[in-house]
C-alpha cells in the first residue's frame, strides 16, 4: 500500500514530505488548505483530531504528529536516518529532534502575530520583538554540522525549523551554514518542488516592529 500524506504548503507537513523524499518511498500527496473547511471535515478529523497537517497513512497505521511520523518512518523504512539504541550519538539525536520543537514554539508565536492576526490592533509588538530575540538566541545552538554526526530525521525536524526561522530573523553563521547543507540535499530540493504554491508566508521576511 502506498503511503498517503495530507499536506499544506509551507507547514510542518513539509518535514514529512522531505523525509519521504530522503527515503525514496512511494507516496500519494494529498494537498489541503488552511483556508477552506477540508481540515475540519469529519474524515480528516478522524485522522487528525486537531484538524491539522500532517496526517500520514501507512497501511493500517495513521499518525498526525510530524515528530512521531519522522521517528516512525526512520524505524520502519529508513534505519540509516536514525541513531539506534546503544550507538554513539543517540543522545544528540534525541536532543536535536526535540530541540526542533523549542524553535517551533517561537516560530508558532511569530507566525500567529505576523500572519494569522491580520488586524494590526490584535498584535502585540512587545511579543513580536521578544519572540524574535528568543528565536535568534535559540538558533545559536544550531549548526554547523549534523546534530548526531551524520544526517538523520533529527536534521529534518531541525532543518525545517531553521528554514522557516530565516523569515523572521537573521540566522547566526553556524545556523546559516547548517541550513545551506540542508538545502543542498537533493531530497530537500525535490520536496520543495512538491511543496506547492505558498499559502502561509507570502513575504520573504517579517521583521519585528521597531521600538
| 100 half-sphere exposure, CB direction, 13 A CA radius | 26
Lowest mean pLDDT among 34-43, 99-108, 152-161, 177-186: 34-43
If one compares 148 and 199, the residue with the highest pLDDT of the two is: 148
Give the Cα separation of 70 and 183 in Å (integer): 18
Q: How many CB atoms lie within 10 A of CB 45?
A: 15
Q: Which residue has the cell 494569522?
A: 116
Q: What is the pLDDT of residues 134-151, one digit of tens each?
A: 999 999 999 999 999 999
- The answer, yes or no, to whether residue 2 has pLDDT greater than 90, is no
Q: Identify the pLDDT of residue 87.
A: 95
**32 vs 141: CA distance, rounded Å:** 34
Please say if the pLDDT value at position 35 is more than 90.
no
Confidence tier at 1 by pLDDT (50, 70, 90): low
Domains and CATH numbers, the chain: 3-81 (3.40.30.10), 90-195 (1.20.1050.10)
pTM of the model: 0.96
Distance CA 124, CA 138 (A): 21
Adjacent-strand bridge partners of 63: 56
pLDDT for 103 beyond 90: yes
Amino acid at each position: 500500500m502506498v503511503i498517503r500524506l495530507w499536506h499544506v504548503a509551507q507547514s510542518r507537513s513539509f518535514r514529512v514530505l522531505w523525509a519521504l523524499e530522503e527515503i525514496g518511498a512511494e507516496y500519494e500527496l494529498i494537498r489541503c488548505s488552511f483556508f477552506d473547511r477540508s481540515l475540519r471535515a469529519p474524515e480528516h478529523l478522524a485522522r487528525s483530531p486537531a484538524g491539522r497537517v500532517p496526517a500520514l497513512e501507512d497501511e493500517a497505521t495513521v499518525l498526525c504528529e510530524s515528530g512521531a511520523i519522522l521517528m516512525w518512518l526512520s524505524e520502519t523504512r529508513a534505519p540509516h536516518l536514525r541513531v539506534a539504541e546503544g550507538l554513539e550519538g543517540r543522545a544528540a539525536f534525541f536532543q536535536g529532534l526535540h530541540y526542533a520543537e523549542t524553535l517551533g514554539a517561537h516560530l508558532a508565536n511569530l507566525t500567529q502575530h505576523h500572519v494569522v492576526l491580520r488586524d494590526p490592533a490584535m498584535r502585540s509588538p512587545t511579543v513580536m520583538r521578544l519572540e524574535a530575540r528568543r528565536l535568534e538566541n535559540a538558533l545559536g545552538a544550531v549548526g554547523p554540522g549534523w546534530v548526531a554526526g551524520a544526517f538523520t530525521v533529527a536534521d529534518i525536524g531541525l532543518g525545517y525549523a531553521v528554514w522557516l526561522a530565516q523569515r523572521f530573523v537573521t540566522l547566526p553563521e553556524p545556523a546559516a551554514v547548517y541550513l545551506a547543507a540542508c538545502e543542498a540535499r537533493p531530497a530537500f530540493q525535490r520536496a520543495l518542488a512538491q511543496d506547492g504554491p505558498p499559502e502561509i508566508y507570502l513575504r520573504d521576511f517579517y521583521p519585528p516592529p521597531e521600538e
